Amino acid sequence: MRARLQVFTSALTVRAARHDASKLQEPEKSGYDQLTIALKDCEYGSDAYRAALASLRPVIAHHYEHNTHHPEHYPNGIAGMSLLDIVEMLCDWKAASERTKQGSIAQSLAHNRERFGVDPQLAAIFENTVRELGW
């Protein structure tokens, strides 16, 4: 049992070290530098938020293509993801909620439930995990 958990946590550790590495080099870096500045004054999911994302659509498309923790990476969205992808995605949603005006993980979960068609069981697991982690 312990060995299996260590394999899983080791895989997550590798993902943490590599998370969003594509943002640190072109063709993403300059676009994400701009996006970080633009999003800090936006409310998550707002019209301004969506407009900021739309203005850098090619950069974001490249990012999704190279990062499996985004539902957009898969033709069938979340259903194509592994549990490792899903854990990384939830952590990413938490981090993203901290980078926006008045952002919260609860707001992010509600928005993304609709955006990605998250089923009720997985949504409950997300909420339970957020609560357990004290987020």
How far apart are the C-alpha atoms of 89 and 19, rounded to whole Å? Answer: 10
Token pair in block for residue 54: 């739309």
Element of type H or E holding 60: helix 57-66
Q: How many CB atoms lie within 10 A of CB 29?
A: 13
Helix (H) and strand (E) counts in the chain: 7, 0
- 0.85 exceeded by the pTM? yes
**Amino acid letter, 134:** G
**What is the SS3 assignment for 101?**
strand
Question: Tens digits of per-residue pLDDT, 25-66?
Answer: 999 999 999 988 888 888 877 899 889 889 999 999 999 999
